[in-house]
Amino acid sequence: MKAVKRVLVVGSGIGGATAAYAMRKAGLDVHCIDIKPETSMAGSGICLLNNTMRALETLGLGKACLEVGMPFSLFREFDSSGQLMRSHPAPPSCGIRRAALACILESAAIEAGAVLEKNLSITDLSDTGHSVEVKFSDGREASYDVVVAADGVYSKLRQKVFGEEFGTKFAGQSVWRFNARLPAEVDGFCLFRAPSGKTLGIFPTSPETCYMFYLENSANPLRIPEGEAHLIIRERLAEFDAPIVRKALDEITGPEQVIFRPLDITLVPEPWHRGRVVLLGDAAHAPTPHMTSGGGMAIEDALVLADCLGGSESVEEALGDYSKRRFTRVKTIYDASLQLCLNEQEDALANKDKSAALLMQTYQYLAQPI
């Protein structure tokens, strides 16, 4: 007899929405909740690497991403004035707006029969050994066979069930992100390098848009004055006089157009479950973004968890198998991402070739089947 019939997924981000969809496809009853009142239509872009697209294709969602996103397979390096320095092939990837990806994943989950509720969180849960009894923020109560904590890097559920031990730590960099109109020069993953070592990354997220990001080193998490992100980013990128950068910055007129956040990371050792509560995505493993893989790892987690839970006769075995199948791969990406982050902090220009070699080696690793 199947051990798992009814699952609660807490968090409908990239990992949670994909898990809700994949588990419905595996025949489970899925209830998915998110604390946010609605899916954000703002936000930046995300790069879906080859392995991420492969996982999405397995779920039947690859085509939808390609239709609204922008595929590319080139890596280009420019100097800060916009002169092309070098180009080489990159693994085929798809850039996409985060809001567009969220729509695809959530719609797929709902169409497959998952119940998705926003503006809802849990206030308490207790694992009886046979079920998880959950109290919701709107006063309702319900019982589930398994609860999936997909509530992101600052997971409250991880804190409650695993304790403080596996909290986040600051990685030594903060990230500035903003969207812009797509310039013709940006036909792949582009890095603009300034003599100071500052690097600005850009990739397309649709046939009309691109996403720009800049990583800033600091010993402690940076705090920026409220309402000034759009002014500060101009100062930070002052030495980039490439016309496409200047034009993009000119389009930024308010602080809401710039997303700033410190990079906080975590890696929970396996197993990723305690009793019937299991971690997925950033709640279990949040790498720095240098391998553009955190979302991809969350999507792969969802596929594997659905596979483990779908036909299992033992919750303990299914959840144990899930993190066993995932941990080495996720740790490899976490370690490589952190090393790239540390290389930049030490000396981005001097470590450029070392970082490029690590990136290529890790891309090859990612190409292996999950």
Ligand X SMILES: Cc1cc2nc3c(=O)[nH]c(=O)nc-3n(C[C@H](O)[C@H](O)[C@H](O)COP(=O)(O)OP(=O)(O)OC[C@H]3O[C@@H](n4cnc5c(N)ncnc54)[C@H](O)[C@@H]3O)c2cc1C
d(CA 221, CA 174) in angstroms, rounded, equals: 7
Coil, helix or strand at residue 266: strand
Shortest distance in whole angstroms from residue 313 CB to ligand X: 28
Shortest distance in whole angstroms from residue 314 CB to ligand X: 26
Spatial contact of 149 and 282, defined as CB atoms under 8 Å apart: no
Interaction between residue 77 and ligand X (CB under 6 A)? no
Spatial contact of 152 and 283, defined as CB atoms under 8 Å apart: yes
Residues 272-291 that bind ligand X (CB under 6 A): 281-283, 289
> Residues with Cβ < 8 Å from 158, sequence gap 6 or more?
149, 151, 166, 268, 279, 283, 284
Residues 153-172 that bind ligand X (CB under 6 A): 156
If one counts every other C-beta atom within 10 angstroms of the C-beta of residue 14, the result is: 26
Interaction between residue 292 and ligand X (CB under 6 A)? yes
What is the chain's alpha carbon radius of gyration, rounded to the nearest angstrom? 21
Interaction between residue 173 and ligand X (CB under 6 A)? no
Spatial contact of 238 and 286, defined as CB atoms under 8 Å apart: no
- Which one of 10-18, 162-170, 194-202, 223-231 is the stretch in contact with ligand X (CB under 6 A)? 10-18
Interaction between residue 298 and ligand X (CB under 6 A)? yes
Comparing CB distances to ligand X, the nearer of 124 and 317 is: 124
Shortest distance in whole angstroms from residue 55 CB to ligand X: 11
Interaction between residue 152 and ligand X (CB under 6 A)? yes
Interaction between residue 216 and ligand X (CB under 6 A)? no
Comparing CB distances to ligand X, the nearer of 25 and 97 is: 97
Which pair of structure tokens corresponds to residue 257? 């157009």
Question: Which is it for the CA torsion 53, 296, 30, 144, positive or negative?
Answer: positive
Report the interface residues with ligand X, using CB under 6 A.
Answer: 10-16, 33-36, 46-47, 52, 121, 150-152, 156, 175, 177, 281-283, 289, 292-296, 298
